[in-house]
Homo-oligomer: A and B are copies of this chain.
Amino acid sequence: MNVINASPRRKELTRLAAQLFVQEGFDRTTVRMLAQEMGIKSGSLFHHFRDKQEILAAVIEEGTQNALNIAHRALELAGDDPDSRLRAMARAHLETLFTDRNAHVVALFEWRRLDPSARAHLSHLRDAYEALWVEVIDEALEAGLIHGDRFLVSRFILGALNWTVRWYDPGGSRSPDDLADELVFMIMPKTP
């Protein structure tokens, strides 16, 4: 089952939905609120989406697909050096996290609201993304740049990065790239 956002109209509606889902949470966002934000009546909403569930799936698919694309591109540009690959991956993660912030916050915190079939489909996308991380971290471990268990290290790094959505202020003095570099510096202080 593919939930792709074919029409530009639907893509725009999905963007608006993501914003409301972040503001209010999925459960507290009613179809009437969604419709009003979109400038239509609540009944008309079901011309574009089969049900409320499908809107959620569309939001999350959009965000995850973008994350995957950005990470792939970043790794292609980064070359072979494990150090710069790790840094590139951290930067890419925060880049997508804050350009598609709404979609990612929904993906991170409303995942459990997905029904089983949508979850199965989207799990593949997410797994593909995490596989990139594991690869880069393995390289850094082998090169002796960082230390510890590969599984734990990747969880800790992703946790630290994902948690930034709870406190980071994009309007502040620090750029997302600064943040990424600081994290890499923290776990890998001796850049040779």
Contacts and interface: CB of A to CB of B under 8 A. Distances in A.
Interface in A132-158: 146-149, 152-153, 155-158
Contact of A186 (B147, B167, B182): B147
Task: Report the copy number of this chain in the oligomer.
Answer: 2
Given A163-B163, A164-B155, A179-B152, A146 B25 contact: no
A163 B164 contact: no
Interface in A107-155: 109, 112-113, 146-149, 152-153, 155
A162 interface: yes
Interface size class for chain A? Answer: 20 to 34
Nearest to A27: B27
A24 to B, nearest CB: 9
How would you classify the secondary structure of chain A's contact residues: helix, strand, loop or mixed? helix
A27 B179 CA distance: 33
Nearest to A161: B159
A163 B167 contact: no
Contacts of A113: 25
A187 interface: yes
Given A159-B159, A160-B156, A147 B28 contact: no
15 contacts: A25-B27, A27-B27, A109-B109, A146-B186, A148-B182, A148-B185, A153-B186, A155-B163, A156-B186, A157-B160, A159-B159, A159-B164, A159-B166, A160-B160, A162-B163
Interface of A: 25, 27-28, 109, 112-113, 146-149, 152-153, 155-164, 166-167, 179, 182-183, 185-187, 189
